Amino acid sequence: MHYAWEDSPVGRLLIGGDERGLRFVLFEEGRAPVVPEPGWREDPAAVADAVTQLREYFAGVRRRFDLPLAPAGTPFQLRVWEALRQIPYGETVSYGELARRVGCPNGSRAVGLANGANPLSIVVPCHRVVGAGGRLVGYGGGLGAKRWLLALEQGSRRMLNL
């Protein structure tokens, strides 16, 4: 596994991948802080495309990521993560709506767990999922990061403190 650290407007990110593709974009701080595992090799060149696209996203010039992705998960998690990629930039859906989209209309809790296990934060936009009535709930990087990402996508310069 190759990785690099990237400072971002929502905190320091650990970005990693291998020959199959991008494996993770994780927050150093937040609900589940991370550190590189033994055996991983720091190699910014190996994840340079991901770093470039994330910088473009944060600058407001990229709306969709074009990277080979290789997240590890159960078949259900992979289905949920693929559905997350279909949520348009700047839009949000509820956990219940996402559950319906993956064919599990009574499974909003299971969808929430899969959403929370997403290893590709930002790239697979789990921040676009909100609670009932549009409430901001749960995000691995913290609610401040989620609020910032949604404000970026919705063009709210005031919320970004720009």
Spatial contact of 114 and 147, defined as CB atoms under 8 Å apart: no
- Please enumerate in sequence order all residues whose Cβ is within 8 A of that of 27, keeping only pairs 6 or more positions apart, or say none: 10, 11, 12, 13, 14, 33, 34, 121, 140, 141, 142, 145
**Structural domains in the chain, sorted by start:** 2-58 (3.30.160), 75-160 (1.10.10.10)
pLDDT at 135: 85
Catalytic residue among 26, 126, 129, 150: 126
Question: Residue 54: its pLDDT value, please?
Answer: 98
Query: Whose CA is closest to 128, among 142, 115, 113, 144?
Result: 115
**pLDDT for 106-125, tens place per residue?**
989 999 999 999 999 999 99
pLDDT value for 157: 52
pLDDT of the residue at 162: 43
Distance CA(97)–CA(89), nearest Å, equals 16
- Residues with pLDDT less than 70, the chain: 31-33, 156-162
Active site residue 104: no
| Distance of alpha carbon 129 from the chain centroid | 11
What lies within 8 Å, CB to CB, of 156 at 6+ separation is: none
Give start and end residues of each alpha helix (H) in the chain: 48-58, 75-85, 95-101, 108-116, 143-153, 157-160
| pLDDT, tens digit, 9 for 90 and up, residues 35-54 | 899 999 999 999 999 999 99
